[in-house]
Amino acid sequence: MPQEEGRKDSVTILVPCYNEEEVLPALFARLDLLIASELDEGRESSVSYTLLFVDDGSKDGTQELIREFAQGREDVSYVFLSRNFGKEKAMFAGIEATHTDGLVIIDADLQDPPELIPEMIALWRQGYDDVYARRRSRKGESWLKKTTSRMYYSLLQKITSVPIQRDTGDFRLLDRKCVEALRELRESERNSKALFSWIGFRKIEFLYDRDARAAGKTKWNYCKLMQLALDGVTSFTVAPLRAVTYCGAVVSVGAIVYALYIFLRTLIFGADIPGYASLLVVMLVLGGIELLGLGVIGEYLGRIFVQVKGRPNYLVQEEHHVMRTKDHR
Ligand code: UDP
Ligand code: MG
């Protein structure tokens, strides 16, 4: 078991929110219960919680609800982004805005039960830096979604060298070390799963039952998930580029062998006309492989393009931060 180190007294609970007005009241209540239970116990080892809501450009009443909730409280901060930047950027905005010893990332829709946070803190205090929650079950998700996700991750694991945590989302507790490391990774096309894996540190998994969404609708559809999947591959590994190279090599060798065969056949048996069908097939196959290769290169080139523009990851419309003496050392 790892050795204990560093201070572990303050924790920020980061909640990215996008159009979550339906679920926010329930979330506020559950988070307040959590904070209250910590105060009740009044133990020497208790933690002080700060709630940090990052609104990702919601178009419903989310911002008003958060503003109202934060009113007069000294443990609620918020950051409102200037538009919808996506959950990844919203989380990054939160990561950049925390100063506590630990950071818990949790979804607004109560799919990740806040009541588990004390258990995560206990593991963190045993010396782990990244306590990530692994889903034992996934309620309210279709069979198709579960199967495709399983296939995708086993494929991804095969082509990458970084160990990938299965069945984990962003629900986790990160030590200050990890938060600082994540802040250093300034890539603009962020894929948290890849980043959490990449930074390493002492990780421990923690099984939980993922609940169904408490209210409201999921922001994902298959098109977005497909994009996320592609993004996952391109941010974890350059293996597809290599695959295209191998593919090209195999096809070229095949073509040389075939050319030699045709050459010798013509020398020995003379020229003959037939061969349109085989010619067409070969052309189509090669054309397909070429286009695929171009697509793969384009995919990486696009990422480079986005990165070299060097734009900020997100823009802030409005923010409010609590300054607690305990958190700022
Ligand atoms: N979210 C966000 N920006 C977006 C989409 C989602 O901040 O563009 C937040 C959302 O409010 C929620 C979390 O990310 O807190 C997870 O979203 P959702 O529940 O829709 O995803 P799922 O649980 O279905 O994967
Ligand atoms: Mg959800």
Q: What is the ipTM of this complex?
A: 0.93
Please tell me the predicted confidence (pLDDT) of residue 224: 78
User: Residue 87 Cα, ligand 1 centroid: separation in angstroms?
Assistant: 6
Q: Is the CB of 90 under 6 A from ligand 1?
A: yes
In angstroms, the CA 276 to CA 278 distance is 6
Concatenated DSSP letters of 83-123 = S---HHHHHHHHHHT--SSEEEE--TTSSS-GGGHHHHHHH
Q: Whose CA is nearest to atom 3 of ligand 1?
A: 87
pLDDT score recorded for residue 42: 57
For the chain, which residues score pLDDT lower than 50?
1-3, 325, 327-329
How far apart, in whole angstroms, are the C-alpha atoms of residue 49 and residue 103? Answer: 10
Predicted confidence at residue 3, as pLDDT, reads 47
pLDDT reported for residue 140: 67
- Tell me, what DSSP letter sits at residue 127? T
pLDDT at 139 (0 to 100): 66
Tokens of 199: 């930074």
Contacts of 196 (CB under 8 A, 6+ apart): 130, 132, 165, 172, 178, 182
Query: Ligand 1 pocket check: which of 65, 219, 226 to mutate, most ligand atoms within 8 Å of Cβ?
Result: 219
Amino acid at 52: L
Helix (H, G, I), strand (E, B) or coil at 135: strand
How many whole angstroms from 263 Cα to the centroid of ligand 2? 62
Mutation pick for ligand 1 pocket among 19, 23, 59, 87 (CB with most ligand atoms within 8 Å): 87
Which ligand 1 atom sits nearest the alpha carbon of residue 85? 8
Q: Whose CA is nearest to atom 22 of ligand 1?
A: 218
Q: Which one of 107, 135, 145, 225 would you pick to mutate in the ligand 1 pocket, going by the greatest count of ligand atoms within 8 A of its CB? A: 107
**pLDDT of amino acid 52:** 94
Asked if residue 191 lies in contact with residue 169, where contact means CB atoms within 8 angstroms, the answer is no
CATH number of 10-237+312-320: 3.90.550.10
- Share of residues in the chain with pLDDT > 90 (%): 21
Q: From the CB of 21, is ligand 1 less than 6 Å away?
A: no
SS3 132: strand
CB of 219 within 6 A of ligand 1: the answer is: yes
User: Quick one: pLDDT at residue 41?
Assistant: 61
> What's the CA-to-centroid distance between 139 and ligand 1, angstroms?
16
CA 297, chain centre distance (Å): 23
